[in-house]
Structure 1
Amino acid sequence: MKAQVQKILFLILLMAFVMGYSQIKISGKVSFKNKGVGEVNVTLKDTYDGATTDAQGNFSFETTEKGNHILTFTHSKYEEVEKNIVIDNQEVIVNVQLKEQVSEIDAIVVSAGSIEASDKKRATALLTPIDIYTTAGADGQITSALTYLPGVQKVGGTEGLFIRGGTGTESKIFMDGSLINNYFSNSIPGIAGRDQFNTSLFKGNIFSSGGYSSLYGQALSGALLLESVDLPDQSSYDVGISPIFLSGGFQKLSKDKSHSFGATLGYSMLNLMQKVFNFNTNFIDAPQGLNSDFNFRIKTKSGGFLKYYGMYNSNKMGVKTESLEPGYDFALVRLNGKNTYHNLSFRQKLGKYHLNVGGSYSYNKSDLNFSTETHDTESDKTRLLTDGNYINFKAVLERKINRISAVRGGFEFNNTDEKLKYGEVDKHYKDLISSAFVETDLGFSNALSAKLGLRAEHSSFLGKSNIAPRIAVAYRIAKDWTSSLAYGLFYQNPESKYINGPANVDFQKAQHYIFQVQRASEGRTLRFEAFYKKYDQLIKTFNVTPGKEQNQQIQTALNNDGYGYAKGLEFFWRDNKKTFKNIDYWITYSFLNSKRDFLNYPVSLKPSFAAEHTLSAVVKRFIPEWKLGVNMSYTYAKGRPYYDIASGTDGGKNINYIRNEGRLKDYNALNFSVNYLPNLGKKDAKAFTVLVLSITNVLGAKNVYGYNFSVDGSRSSAIVPPVNTFVFVGAFISFGADKTENAINNNL
């Protein structure tokens, strides 16, 4: 028995010796750019043998396998590597150099000059619809909320996005890729028009304060790209009630969630508020408006998406002011405005390609009636009637090259047909701008990418063409730090309102140079941006008198001899509930140095719409247990210059000269708002209610937007807000969809 046990032990020892003798060691080092990489899985394919690299990239393991095999190296941030090896009776040493795994999520995105907020994976969420609604002083308007971002000026007396020393008309707004020619409501001089589009219509936006994509044109300063919502989450009915408006609407979603349709209708009237507040503006006809819209959305079986949006708005108002001209007591102006907008878009994936096709139609009519009043008798009636038809069509075809690279191209047509009658001026302006563009996104690695673009345009009115190259490069400096550099040429037709006679004019031109450094981590964004813009071929004008009355003067284009520049530095910091619980805040500062010789400026001057220093702060506090949101905002802007410029002759030559000039007082406004989500009705009822209290300019600062001057320049009056402090109270109720939890979650 003892001898048998000894034999078994001998056999076991012999087998262990043979197995130990037959194991072969496989070792080596894994590197990336000559630096060892840890946590790389090294595996002998189709076996259980392998190891993981240490911090220096070294690995080692033993195997009993023999013959030809494949050694694999895998890591989430690098491309998988396979090496063919032969295992014999000697140690196998394998050294490997990895290549970075290019990922759509990890790859750097070019962001110089642009701020994006949408539902895309690569977006930097900034101003979402809930952000806009809860920004005190924004009044739920997208363009008003943008004035709390760097680069956008708070002008006040007229509508538009005034970006980095540019006029309000030098920026353009697009919906689903198509141009919106009547984004703002009609208004009268000195009172800015409001956004005509509901903020909740859009799921995201890209705001470019310069260096924007080649897919868009005809803007010297920047572009706001709005992306409308697709299908709603569920059917709902909405009601809005306040002392100044009443609105209602619905969205109906099909049972299979493949299509939806909806409509809204609203009416606004400021008459009641005039009786409550001490208005600066004497409204003889209180502002009132009727707004309506309709939409449908269809998701096709092949994965395509068709969207339509249409709206019709009308508004009226009348203003009475003390006359600046001798012999008259008052000056009166009345407005009757009508406009409509229709947008149809379709997107479809075609194999490796993505097709986006869209078109829009805009109609805008503004009927302004000017008159004077003396001893309660109205006279000297003059009418300024404008109406315009605008058609835009664009097609874009895109092909992905790899996960982060793509090429796209397409064409666009923008047709304008405008009529204007004012005094002896009776004009009919027509223009067709035909455009072609190509653009490519190049992802070289997760740390380096570029965007190259080229846009060409031809204007039938000017009879001229242009070619605009654009380039942007982004580089990741460190883990959360990125830098971007952008350059581009941008062209824009002269404003049609200055084309009142024969003039040999050309495209206006701007060159953008932008450098950005940004640190973005979860909940926090820090951003520095420096820019320089050079303007050439700006329109020069001369004041003419179209009618018998001397106070009826309009500017008429003479040539393209204007020029200018704008340069500055911008800072943006946002902390979204990371440092302080349930508190979201951001701070922006902009420095702007700009000069222009354009329009009727006699020399190069600082523009009257450009403040040198602008500071904004926004703070939001949400209290979940009370379902209460408290919001505050503050804006400061250094006083802008103002000019009284007249036209005359010198030796038979037309000249412009400055009669009066100065600087406005600094702009200050502190705003406050509260959003409350009460529990109304039955606990299980599908209803969502928001009560809103908003106070604009809480401290009642008497801000001034500019000055009007008499014909001879001897008298003036300040252009001020219609009211210094305004209080808004309203309730918004949605039936059929309880969005309370969503509203709370969006604020946490």
Structure 2
Amino acid sequence: MNRKLTAMKTKLLFFFSFFLFTLSFAQTKISGKVTFKNKGVGEVNVTLKDTYDGATTDANGSFSFETSEKGNHILIFTHPKYIDVEKPIVIDNQEISVNSELKEQINEIDAVVVSAGSIEASDRKRATALLTPIDIYTTAGANGQISSALTYLPGVQKVGETEGLFVRGGTGTESKIFMDGSLINNYFSSSVPGIAGRDRFNTSLFKGNIFSSGGYSALYGQALSGALMLESVDLPDQSSYDFGISPIFWNAGFQKLSDQKNYSFGATLGYSNLKLMQKAFNFNTNFTDAPQGLNGDFNFRIKTKSGGFFKYYGMYDSNRMGVETESLEPNQYDFSLVKLKGKNTYHNLSFKQKFGKYLLNAGASYSFNRSDLDFSTQKNDIETGNTKLLTDGNYINFKTVIERKINKISALRGGFELNSTSEKLNFNDFVEKHYKDLISAAFVETDLGFSNQLSAKIGVRVENSSYLGKSNIAPRLALAYRFAKDWTTSFAYGLFYQNPESKYINGPANLGFQQSQHYIFQVQRTTDRRSLRFEAFYKKYDDLLKVKNLEYKDGQNQYVQTADNNNGYGYAKGMELFWRDRKTFENIDYWISYSFLDSKRDFMNYPFSLKPNFASEHTISVVAKRFVPKWKTGFNFSYTYAKGRPYYDIATQDVNGEPQYYVRHEGSLKDYNALNFSVNYLPNLGKKDAKAFTVLVLSVSNILGSKNVYGYNFSTNGSRNSAVVPPVNTFVFIGAFISFGVDKTQDAINNNL
């Protein structure tokens, strides 16, 4: 029995050993190296398809494993940052060596984005988001206005005497503003000389923006210097009611969301009057009629069953004021008085819908603007002269863009745009005109993602002006390259055209498009809650408008400037630095911007090439925000310094029977300085059952009372002058904002802190 058991054990041991020997003999070794651009790649999973056999590459990209499989198989190489590679192999009893060269996996998250000349703030941009609505509301000195907040970014000049975005040596009219792709004509309220108009649009209407100080997309045109693209909000999270009150204004509004959350509608109404503040503060400007305004708007938004989106926004705005100034011509009159009555209405309808692989964006806008200015003089309390300037403008814009994705980061888009202008002007019954123009444009643009490190944007825009009877072709090009983990560099070039300003076209003139060329180089580093960017730029201006004085009412030495030719030219060059940090200091968000600008141009009534009177050579801005949760309070500071701008007294003289311009007086203004402060208190913060959410605001502009000067006005003979100054040196604002039905905590606290 024992011998049988021993024999059986011997046989089992023999068969087991033979099995192990056979199994060992059947194992086949598979090895190789995985590379990307001739460099080994670690952490690549190498597996035999439909088996558990495989390995992971080491730091040099090498791998090795054994398998007992035989015959035809597929070897798979996978890594999150690279495209999967499959290689067929035949396994027999010999070792196999397989090398693989990977291709980069291109995706929207890792891909480099072209950003030369532009700063984007939206839910699509995380690390570098700038000037979201909460940024604007909490920037001391911005007064809740988008245009004012932009002056704390590099490239935008601080010009207080007139409205507009003055970008990199360009005038305020050389930058255009768009809402959901459609041009906004008359974004700013009507104004009088020396006092800038305000934003007509509520900041909370927009969820994000793209601000381009040059080299912008071919989808936009008719702007020599820059473009601001505003994106309106979608459906609200829930229904709400809002109310705001302060010594200078009140407003109320609501947003109603349907039970199915597929549509909403809302409206607001507001009134402002500076009369009370005029009594409380020592104003520099003598307002005979305190600035006041009435505004209202209505909106609806519809989300279709097929995923489309309709948006409508309509608004009405009116403002009026009267200003009295001491005469610079005492022998002729004692005071001059200007009265303004302005009216404006704007309507914007947009539609977005995806059709298979195509995305359609279509929009249309209409605006009507009336500016009624009445100029008069007084001598011994008797009116001695009166001049009226009445302007009515009707503007229609229509735009359609179709986009098709090529891959995850490449796309092709194209479309057309129509911009119709009809203006009627009456200048004291001496100049009457009816200006009409239809600018039709077509454009095509492509985003090309060559890799996660290299991308390009190439486009071209073609325009035709019915008034000028001419066409233009404007190419655009931008490149971006990531040369290190957090470092990218971008380059942008573009040719840009713009019609001469219609207010100077008062008679026949052989005019053409004004044009500028942009060259922009940028280096940017973006990390967690920190952003550093440097830009250098050069702009060349050609065919700028030149004007001449057209005399009216013989013997009274009064003139109106009218277009003469397109012989103007100029340049602007400089560098800019921007640093934003939300990480270093707990609950503190701050940014610093610096701009250097060297610019000269010969345009308008300049007798020769001069540094523009709206261009400051050095500008520095610092913004800091600190929220203290324990106190439920946010503290905001801002400071701006700008080197004094030049000023000129340009007069005419007779040369061989022809009037010619010359510089009679010139100089530099005192440096601009302004320190601003604001406090936001949230008494409802932390109260979950609060039915109303309240924000109390205290804001002080130019807290140190710096006496800034924007320029000088000169008498007819140049012997007297007066400074153009802000309406008030230091301004204090106190207000309360209450929301019913919705917690607006995140609208009052920067959620990036």
Fold-level match, TM-score > 0.5? yes
Larger CA deviation: 679-688 vs 650-659? 679-688
What are the equivalent positions in structure 2 for 1:518-667 lying under 5 Å apart? 518-547=524-553, 550=556, 552-576=558-582, 578-667=583-672
What are the equivalent positions in structure 2 for 1:9-24 lying under 5 Å apart? 9-24=13-28
Q: Distance in 2 between matches of 1:123 and 1:179?
A: 28
Task: Tell me the TM-score normalised to structure 1 length.
Answer: 0.98
Matched residue, 1:494: 500
Matched residue, 1:427: 433
Q: Distance in 2 between matches of 1:65 and 1:285?
A: 93
Code of the aligned partner of 1:391: I
Task: Tell me the TM-score normalised to structure 2 length.
Answer: 0.98
How many angstroms does 1:745 deviate by?
Answer: 6.2
Code of the aligned partner of 1:361: Y
Matched residue, 1:299: 303
* Pair 1:313-2:286 in alignment: no
Aligned match of 2:353 in 348, 351, 359?
348
Q: Distance in 1 between matches of 2:343 and 2:665?
A: 36
Q: Distance in 1 between matches of 2:748 and 2:197?
A: 29
| Matched residue SS, 1:71 | strand
How many angstroms does 1:518 deviate by?
Answer: 0.5
What are the equivalent positions in structure 2 for 1:245-284 lying under 5 Å apart? 245-284=249-288
Q: Is the 8 A contact 1:602 1:657 kept in 2?
A: yes
Code of the aligned partner of 1:407: L
| Matched residue SS, 1:152 | coil
What are the equivalent positions in structure 2 for 1:157-196 lying under 5 Å apart? 157-196=161-200
Aligned match of 1:503 in 477, 502, 509?
509
Q: Distance in 1 between matches of 2:284 and 2:172?
A: 24
Larger CA deviation: 66-75 vs 373-382? 373-382
How many angstroms does 1:600 deviate by?
Answer: 0.3
Code of the aligned partner of 2:619: T
Q: Distance in 2 between matches of 1:409 and 1:700?
A: 51
* Pair 1:62-2:69 in alignment: no
How many angstroms does 1:12 deviate by?
Answer: 2.1
Instruction: Write out per-residue CA displacement over residues 430-472 of structure 1, whole angstroms, 9 at most, x where no aligned residue.
Output: 1000101110111111111111110011001001110011111
Matched residue, 2:370: 365
Larger CA deviation: 543-552 vs 526-535? 543-552
Code of the aligned partner of 1:604: S
How many angstroms does 1:9 deviate by?
Answer: 2.7
How many angstroms does 1:3 deviate by?
Answer: 3.2
Q: Is the 8 A contact 1:104 1:122 kept in 2?
A: no
Matched residue, 1:338: 343
How many angstroms does 1:20 deviate by?
Answer: 1.3
Instruction: Write out per-residue CA displacement over residues 644-684 of structure 1, whole angstroms, 9 at most, x where no aligned residue.
Output: 11223210223111111111000000000011111289751
Q: Is the 8 A contact 2:127 2:528 kept in 1?
A: no
Q: Distance in 1 between matches of 2:351 and 2:553?
A: 48
Aligned match of 1:104 in 96, 105, 108?
108
Q: Is the 8 A contact 1:158 1:191 kept in 2?
A: yes
* Pair 1:388-2:402 in alignment: no
Q: Distance in 1 between matches of 2:126 and 2:310?
A: 24
| Matched residue SS, 1:119 | coil
Larger CA deviation: 738-747 vs 553-562? 738-747
How many angstroms does 1:559 deviate by?
Answer: 0.5
How many angstroms does 1:543 deviate by?
Answer: 1.8
Closer, same or farther: CA 566–682 of 1 in aligned 2, 3 Å = closer
How many angstroms does 1:23 deviate by?
Answer: 1.0
Larger CA deviation: 682-691 vs 500-509? 682-691
How many angstroms does 1:625 deviate by?
Answer: 2.3
Give the gaps of 5 or more residues in structure 2. Answer: none
What are the equivalent positions in structure 2 for 1:682-701 lying under 5 Å apart? 684-701=689-706
How many angstroms does 1:324 deviate by?
Answer: 1.0
Q: Is the 8 A contact 1:363 1:390 kept in 2?
A: yes
How many angstroms does 1:579 deviate by?
Answer: 0.6
Q: Distance in 2 between matches of 1:407 and 1:117?
A: 23
Code of the aligned partner of 1:438: V
* Pair 1:452-2:458 in alignment: yes
Q: Distance in 2 between matches of 1:580 and 1:549?
A: 67
Matched residue, 1:375: 380
How many angstroms does 1:330 deviate by?
Answer: 0.8
Q: How many residues align?
A: 747
How many angstroms does 1:744 deviate by?
Answer: 4.0
Report percent identity of matched pairs: 77
Instruction: Write out per-residue CA displacement over residues 7-33 of structure 1, whole angstroms, 9 at most, x where no aligned residue.
Output: 323322222221111111111110001
Give the gaps of 5 or more residues in structure 1. Answer: none
Closer, same or farther: CA 745–150 of 1 in aligned 2, 3 Å = closer
Q: Distance in 1 between matches of 2:729 and 2:158?
A: 15
Aligned match of 1:441 in 437, 443, 447?
447
Q: Distance in 1 between matches of 2:87 and 2:21?
A: 30
Q: Is the 8 A contact 1:584 1:621 kept in 2?
A: yes
Q: Is the 8 A contact 2:695 2:748 kept in 1?
A: no
* Pair 1:216-2:220 in alignment: yes
How many angstroms does 1:182 deviate by?
Answer: 1.1
How many angstroms does 1:548 deviate by?
Answer: 5.2
Q: Is the 8 A contact 2:242 2:254 kept in 1?
A: yes
How many angstroms does 1:686 deviate by?
Answer: 3.3
How many angstroms does 1:709 deviate by?
Answer: 1.2
Code of the aligned partner of 1:293: D
| Matched residue SS, 1:657 | strand
Instruction: Write out per-residue CA displacement over residues 261-302 of structure 1, whole angstroms, 9 at most, x where no aligned residue.
Output: 000000001010011100000111011000100000000001
Code of the aligned partner of 2:516: A
Code of the aligned partner of 1:82: E
Instruction: Write out per-residue CA displacement over residues 480-530 of structure 1, whole angstroms, 9 at most, x where no aligned residue.
Output: 100111111000000001111111011001010111111111101110100
Aligned match of 1:675 in 677, 680, 683?
680
Q: Distance in 2 between matches of 1:485 and 1:632?
A: 33
Instruction: Write out per-residue CA displacement over residues 392-433 of structure 1, whole angstroms, 9 at most, x where no aligned residue.
Output: 000111111111111111100000000111131111111000
Larger CA deviation: 497-506 vs 160-169? 497-506
Q: Distance in 2 between matches of 1:122 and 1:242?
A: 34
Aligned match of 2:141 in 123, 137, 144?
137
Closer, same or farther: CA 238–453 of 1 in aligned 2, 3 Å = same
Code of the aligned partner of 2:170: G
Q: Is the 8 A contact 2:127 2:527 kept in 1?
A: no
Code of the aligned partner of 2:185: N
Code of the aligned partner of 1:120: R
| Matched residue SS, 2:12 | helix
Q: Is the 8 A contact 2:41 2:59 kept in 1?
A: yes
Code of the aligned partner of 1:413: L
Code of the aligned partner of 1:238: D
How many angstroms does 1:369 deviate by?
Answer: 0.5
Q: Is the 8 A contact 1:182 1:341 kept in 2?
A: no
| Matched residue SS, 2:706 | coil
Q: Distance in 2 between matches of 1:527 and 1:548?
A: 57
Matched residue, 1:737: 742
Larger CA deviation: 257-266 vs 639-648? 639-648
Q: Distance in 2 between matches of 1:715 and 1:742?
A: 50
How many angstroms does 1:377 deviate by?
Answer: 2.2
Q: Is the 8 A contact 2:178 2:184 kept in 1?
A: yes
* Pair 1:43-2:39 in alignment: no
Q: Is the 8 A contact 1:44 1:70 kept in 2?
A: yes
Q: Is the 8 A contact 1:147 1:154 kept in 2?
A: yes
